Structure 1
Amino acid sequence: MSRDAYFFDKVEDLVSYLEAKLTNPTLLKIQKSLYFLWAFYAATYGSIDYSNENSEFSETIKYPKRLFKANFEAWQYGPVLNKVYEEDKNNSITPSLEKKRYSNSMEKDVWSFIDDMIAQIDPINDFGLVARSHQDSAWKKAYKAGQSHCPMNEEEIIEDYKEYAATTNA
């Protein structure tokens, strides 16, 4: 993966921001927020084809391919990043509203995307987010009842969200 692969070098930086920004940052809400942020970002900004000369995006602004490195697993209550779950469960992540200063318009766009998504996610209760994540075919294909740590396929997640993004923008 190239094109400055990740916006966040450490997903914990985003978790810290979510914990400070969400009204009720439960473990479930943090996990589903990470999933929806990652999926929508990868399906939109992360999927821009800069080689297409008819693209509205110039070579001067290139968005990272992914928001952060992710290894989502299908658990009973939806997609989970196990590493983050363990750290968050043990309260080893400190909430922080600190954003990096924008050094360019790409960073401003990505932070705006994050804040817009948080505004949409925040009013939904935990189990509303779980129910929504259970609609995704990538989760359905990976989940095995009674098991956790079932790896999810990144490309299948992205394809689900390309479809959602297309119907949202239509």
Structure 2
Amino acid sequence: MNKKDYFFEDINTLIGHIVKFLDNPTPLKVQKSLYFLWAFYAATYGNIDYSKDTEFSKQEQYPRELFPAKFEAWTYGPVINSVFADYHQTNGFADISDSYDENGISDTNTKEVWSFVNDLLSQINEVNDFGLVERSHQDSAWKNTYKEGEKHCRMSNDEIKEDYINYVRQQSKI
């Protein structure tokens, strides 16, 4: 059994890293980073079948989710309302810190997940805000939930995960 439910028990640890990592950490880009990181993690590390005899079944298990997520389908794509509210009720991202220290990590799984986070953030960093919005609008989890003019339409984490399992499978066939 996993020793913890989420890789990041506190989402602010990840947000701090995202903000310091991205060249232009707009609120929209931070929200989309959280979404894509959560989705791709869920479809890969969070989807490992430990019951099969593989290289993964012999090691410590990865948590099923990157962080506790409650995505909502908003006009510009998936949003975590609590992150949106915190940003607008405080000094934005000005006071957030990044506790990531590559040299302080000895655990193999932890190194692997941080490498995954940094690789995906490097790709996200190359796309402008509205390119990320456009990409998130392709997901059936968003399309099936979004209602014009409404906020707080809760997206299904299971549906997000299924979208991204399908994306990962398609990519592995190339």
The aligned counterpart of 2:57 is 58
| Structure 1 position 47 matched with structure 2 position 11 | no
Q: Give the match for residue 32 of structure 1.
A: 32
Matches for 1:5-154 after TM superposition, within 5 Å? 5-53=5-53, 55-89=54-88, 90-91=90-91, 93=93, 94-100=95-101, 101-154=104-157
Q: Structure 1: which 5+ runs fail to align? A: none
Do residues 166 (structure 1) and 165 (structure 2) align? no
- Tell me if structure 2 keeps the 8 A contact 1:5–1:66: yes
CA distance in 2, matches of 1:56, 1:166: 19
SS in 1 for 2:147: coil
Read off the aligned partner of 1:149 and give its amino acid letter. Answer: H
1:1-36 Cα distance to aligned partner (Å, 9 max, x none): x62210011101101111111000001000000000
What is the TM-score with the length of structure 2 in the denominator? 0.92
Structure 2 spans left out of the alignment, 5+ residues: none
CA positional deviation for 1:92: 5.4
RMSD: 1.4
For the Cα contact (< 8 Å) 1:18–1:95, is it kept in 2?
no
- In structure 2, relative to structure 1, the CA distance for the partners of 1:61 and 1:129 (3 Å cut) is same
User: Which of 120-129 and 84-93 deviates more?
Assistant: 84-93
AA of the residue aligned to 1:126: D
Task: State the secondary structure of the residue aligned to 2:56.
Answer: coil
